Structure 1
């Protein structure tokens, strides 16, 4: 039986997957499915995806059904560099305005709601749309884009357009890192796939470590062939990201979930469960 592995198809997740021995994992029955976060969130909730990257908000929605793989995430201590609110007016003037939200994400759209409604006490109208900057701003005052869509938009941004990095805003108000995506596994899969999950987990950790050791050089070279951009841009971008899941990351996640609960976006998350090769999983 195949183990279906979800792979977020954005460069910000790539360090965890870049050096995976896919031939070996394929021989073990691992099948990789690259999709945007929203698609992977839905596929895992339906049991189509067994393990892999999902939005951290989606984990909060299925906290009793999923377990997180430890020490793996897509996070940022401050600026994330690829999750932006692009606005025609300063953020302090968005009260009563209309904002278009990307359909690609769960974490970022809810993070923006927390930022605007809780941190800035603003009442705005949201519309979910396909991630197209020009279309989103035809009838809206601002738009939220994530991942490579946000990066490509940033490069061509008009000088009079305001931009706000959601990771930086989160840090300014909370002094905690923000975790956008986690590596999770369905609990029903864990019961029968602990060995293959362990091999896959070791591969993720090894890939992350190798990327850090060579300063992301090989990976950046590969990315530039597809997306262009200067070497220095991509070096700065990955230096600003973090792919760990420390106690501070978990503290930030709990705060994010609490703020989402206060706004009625999410049911209360009491316990985050982390997988362990020794005791299957533990809660913190």
Structure 2
């Protein structure tokens, strides 16, 4: 049977996919679907995508239907450098202000709402828009951008605009890493394609380790062809990311989900984060 693999179309996930043997995976019936996180979240929920990187928040909404591939995520211990709140005033002065939210994400949008409500005790109004900085800031006091949109905007942001890294803020208040995306697989896909998923998982790990071992040099060279930027910038960017899924990451996800449920962002409590085991034994944490 075929296996549809979701591939987030942002630079931060590239190390997990860069060294995949796509020809072999295609021969095994795999196809790749590159989209922004929000589109992949929707595809996974509808069953149009079987496995891949999705927003952590989307896992929280569908935890009963998914399992997580172990030791894989897109996280940051502190600064993430690609998820920014751009504001016309300091963050502490944003009470009762309007904020434009990117339509590209779920984790980051709800992370911002958690930070502002839970940790800053602010009340805000939100509007979801296409990720266009100029349009978002025309009629709003602040805007949230993620991924390559955020990286590009940060380079050219006016000096009078206050810029906040959401990964840094989460670490400041929780002393935990923030996990923005996880690698999830639909349970029915595990039943029907377990051997193919095991090969895909093996290749994900190989690509991850190869990228880390050569200090992301090949990945950076590929990115520079399309986005430019100095080697030093991209080296620091990737060094600030983390691709593991340790107990600390799980602890942070639990806290994130619990607060989201407390604030009414998640309709129900996430009771289980199940990790898939290649040996066909599932582990619950």
TM-score normalised by the shorter chain: which range applies?
Answer: over 0.9
Say whether the 8 Å CA contact 1:194–1:280 is kept in structure 2.
no
Query: For residue 198 of structure 1, what is the aligned residue in structure 2?
Result: 198
Query: For residue 271 of structure 1, what is the aligned residue in structure 2?
Result: 272
In the aligned structure 2, how far is the partner of 1:189 from the partner of 1:229? 39
**Secondary structure in 2 aligned to 1:48?**
coil
1:64-75, aligned counterparts within 5 Å? Answer: 64-75=64-75
> Superposition RMSD on alpha carbons, in Å?
0.6
Instruction: Give the gaps of 5 or more residues in structure 1.
Output: none
Query: For residue 235 of structure 2, what is the aligned residue in structure 1?
Result: 235
CA deviation map 1:47-73 (0-9, x unaligned): 000000100000000000000000000
Cα deviation for residue 282 of structure 1 reads 1.6
In the aligned structure 2, how far is the partner of 1:172 from the partner of 1:32? 37
In the aligned structure 1, how far is the partner of 2:41 from the partner of 2:79? 24
Query: For residue 115 of structure 1, what is the aligned residue in structure 2?
Result: 115
Cα deviation for residue 278 of structure 1 reads 1.2
CA deviation map 1:227-265 (0-9, x unaligned): 000000000000000010000000000000011011011
**Secondary structure in 1 aligned to 2:276?**
strand
In the aligned structure 1, how far is the partner of 2:282 from the partner of 2:37? 24
Cα deviation for residue 280 of structure 1 reads 3.9
Residues 1:40 and 2:50 are matched in the alignment: no
Query: For residue 58 of structure 1, what is the aligned residue in structure 2?
Result: 58
**Secondary structure in 2 aligned to 1:4?**
strand
Runs of at least 4 residues of structure 1 off by over 6 A? Answer: none
**Secondary structure in 2 aligned to 1:253?**
helix
Query: For residue 5 of structure 2, what is the aligned residue in structure 1?
Result: 5
Say whether the 8 Å CA contact 1:170–1:178 is kept in structure 2.
yes
1:166-185, aligned counterparts within 5 Å? Answer: 166-185=166-185
Cα deviation for residue 279 of structure 1 reads 2.8
Query: For residue 93 of structure 1, what is the aligned residue in structure 2?
Result: 93
Cα deviation for residue 20 of structure 1 reads 0.4
In the aligned structure 2, how far is the partner of 1:94 from the partner of 1:17? 39
Say whether the 8 Å CA contact 1:220–1:231 is kept in structure 2.
yes
CA deviation map 1:22-53 (0-9, x unaligned): 01111111100000000000001000000001
Q: How many residues align?
A: 284
Cα deviation for residue 193 of structure 1 reads 1.1
Instruction: Give the gaps of 5 or more residues in structure 2.
Output: none
- Provide TM-score, normalisation by structure 2: 0.99
CA deviation map 1:201-249 (0-9, x unaligned): 0010100000000000011001000000000000000000001000000
- Provide TM-score, normalisation by structure 1: 0.99
